[in-house]
Amino acid sequence: MDLFYSSTRSSEVKVKASEAILKGLADDGGLFAPERIPAMDKSLKELAAMDYKQVAYEVMKLFLTDFTEEELRSCIDKAYDSKFDTDEIAPLVKADGAYYLELFHGATIAFKDMALSILPHLLTTSARKNNVKNDIVILTATSGDTGKAALAGFADVPGTKIIVFYPKNGVSPIQEKQMVTQKGDNTFVVGIKGNFDDAQTGVKNMFNNKELAQTLDAAGFQFSSANSINIGRLVPQIVYYVYAYTRLLGDGEIAADETINVVVPTGNFGNILAAYYAKNMGLPIGRLICASNENKVLYDFFESGTYDKNREFVLTTSPSMDILISSNLERLIYKIAGMDAKANKKFMDSLKTDGKYSITDDMKKELADFYGNYASEAETAGIIKAIYEDTGYVIDTHTAVAAKVYKKYVQDTKDTTKAVIASTASPFKFTRSVMDAIDKAKYDAMSDFELVDELSKIANVVVPQAIEDIRTAPVRHDRVCDKTEMEATVRDILGV
């Protein structure tokens, strides 16, 4: 049965999966959401006997119903190949009383690779299916990880260009070096004077600019998105929760149908939304533990039912979570509002005009599966040091936020259900913050790449190829613009 996608802001809009992937964002500014969450049609025992690619097909076919089996399997095969440094794609590591789902074994050593390795193939397949003749311009804002993963995915893909905006002083040195050294004649990277929310707002404004769309069309271009607002990013993320559960089952770590909890370090809300969708498909997930850093807008939302972005923006050591507008939360609001697009639009209009909205008591009851908490900068550093000293396992700053919040959850609830923690980036991506946490006095004077080698030694882990590649790579992108000049910059890049 075909699954259609509606805009979260208009019930009249109804498109096929390939159209939703191509557009990225609905014309009315809404996000595309599935009209229903499909149930899994294979048993967990059957899935436990499959490898990552096979599980990916079984999950994604239920959401991308207008793709043929051949098209979808081809996209999956091209995505999950030797770009990943392990055949498992997303291995589970048992440490410190939880199971860490390592989502950073792809080309850019962050979880964004899990979806952005496949999105270019989904997008180009969607373009063929819909007879698109224009070149597709991927327009993306990044808080650090999406940008590099998208650049790596789309580099030199025929019929595409990619333009990435990032906050010039809001990403780690390794993250910036990864982006500005990116190869590919179709890749463009721009630092903005502003924060991630400024970059994201600028990108959304360009998507909603009808005059700009007409100008681009006349020049043979059309926008699409690689941000987590694109349903082609969200669907592949559902896969790794199903895969993690079935690995635990296959390895005898859990019994058939045993419930697990899932802990996710959360900024834009896409990753934890994917876990929520997996639960709604029938995966035995109990609590969805939403971990925030000091930009705790989501923690406050789960506590109060009010989403309020009117607050100071904090630059932390977990920059991919330094976000005050969690775009993907809109899909959850739409669902708990009974898929009432008009009601959801009122909330989003209020967010735009007043910077906040409050959900109803009935909607709050729909959030019972979620638990929110946050970790301070000191707590984040403390848990990295404690886990390393206790177990020898080294985690990055984002994973550390999740690890600390998980400890708070157990303390608050006394719930000792087995838990999977989404480990969203390699510690090598945030080497200085990680090594400062372990022993600042000892490592403070070392250069970034000296720290890389020291981390490799103490963690007994080979330096990832993604880091080796940027040691001596020349800077290829040095554009910087004000947050008010983003559209002018895009016009200049495209020559329109």
Other beta carbons within 10 angstroms of residue 157's beta carbon come to: 17
pLDDT digits (tens, 9 = 90+) for 137-159: 999 999 878 889 999 999 998 88
pLDDT, tens digit (0-9, with 9 covering 90-100), for 119-136:
999 999 999 999 998 999
Query: Is residue 472 pLDDT above 90, yes or no?
Result: no
pLDDT tens digits, 75-113: 999 999 999 999 999 999 999 999 999 999 999 999 999
Least confident of 67-71, 317-321, 327-331, 350-354: 317-321
Contact yes or no for 487/212 (Cβ under 8 A): yes
Phi, psi of 110 (to 5 degrees): -145, 160
Q: Are strands 5-7 and 370-374 parallel, antiparallel or unpaired?
A: unpaired
The residue length of the chain stands at 496
Percent of the chain with pLDDT over 70: 100
What does the pLDDT read at residue 83?
Answer: 92
What is the per-residue pLDDT across 244-256, written as a single tens digit (0 to 9) for each? 999 999 999 999 9
Judge if pTM exceeds 0.85: yes
pLDDT in the model for residue 316: 95
The per-residue pLDDT for 158 is 87
Q: Which residues 6+ apart lie within 8 Å of 274 measured at CB?
A: 234, 237, 238, 240, 241
Residue 71 has pLDDT above 90, yes or no: yes
List, by residue number, the catalytic residues.
Answer: 112
- Confidence check: pLDDT of 115 > 90: yes
Q: What is the pLDDT of residue 143?
A: 83
Q: What is the pLDDT of residue 82?
A: 93
Q: Which residues contact 318 (CB under 8 A, 6 or more apart)?
A: 265, 293, 380, 397, 398, 400, 401, 430
Instruction: Report the C-alpha gap between 366 and 369 in whole angstroms.
Output: 8
Mean pLDDT along residues 174-185: 94
Q: What percent of the chain has pLDDT over 90?
A: 90
- Of the pLDDT bands very low, low, confident and very high (cuts 50, 70, 90), residue 352 is very high
Question: pLDDT tens, 420-462?
Answer: 999 999 999 999 999 999 999 999 999 989 999 999 999 999 9
pLDDT at 417: 98
**Per-residue pLDDT for 13 more than 90?**
no
382-398 pLDDT per residue, tens: 999 999 999 999 999 99
CA 255 to chain CA centroid, Å, is 30
Confidence label for 1 from pLDDT (cuts 50, 70 and 90): confident
Give residue-wise pLDDT tens across range 198-227: 999 999 899 989 999 999 999 999 998 887
**CB 271, CB 111: distance < 8 Å:** yes
pLDDT of residue 226: 85
Q: ∠ CA(172), CA(178), CA(184), 5° rounding?
A: 150
